[in-house]
Amino acid sequence: MQMVLMTMNTPETSYAFCVKNDDYPVSLELRKVYQVVQDDWATAHGHIRIIDESGEDYLYPVEFFVPVALPEAAEGVFALAT
């Protein structure tokens, strides 16, 4: 599965929906939307950088997530939570 992420040049923040959490049940909740941190190296190596339950960003396998587009009103709520 290939995931398309926004680049650092865009002001938008991207999000991903967690669909798998094998070996990371404490760090990732299934069916939860997470903020994606753009990381070209991670993307090139089959990973995605996510701000997880610890509040820090870590690399996870890209197949654990599906990209989502949030409505503008929802993005505002997510921005307040960070």
Pull the structure tokens for residue 32.
Answer: 């939860």
Round the CA-based radius of gyration of the chain to a whole number and report it: 12
Whether residue 10 has pLDDT greater than 60: no
* Distance (Å) of CA 48 to CA 18, 62, 80: 11, 5, 22
Band (82; pLDDT cuts 50, 70, 90): low
Amino acid 75: pLDDT: 77
DSSP state of 7: -
- pLDDT (tens digit per residue) in 21-73: 999 999 999 999 999 999 999 999 999 999 998 999 999 999 999 999 888 88
CATH of the domain at 55: 2.30.30
Provide the domain limits for residue 62: 14-81
Structure tokens at 69: 């587009």
- How far is it, in rounded angstroms, from Cα 44 to Cα 23? 22
Q: Give Cα 78 distance to the centre of its chain.
A: 12
In a domain, residue 30? The reply is yes
Question: In total, how many domains does the chain have?
Answer: 1
Q: Is residue 3 part of a domain?
A: no
Is 4 within the bounds of a domain? no
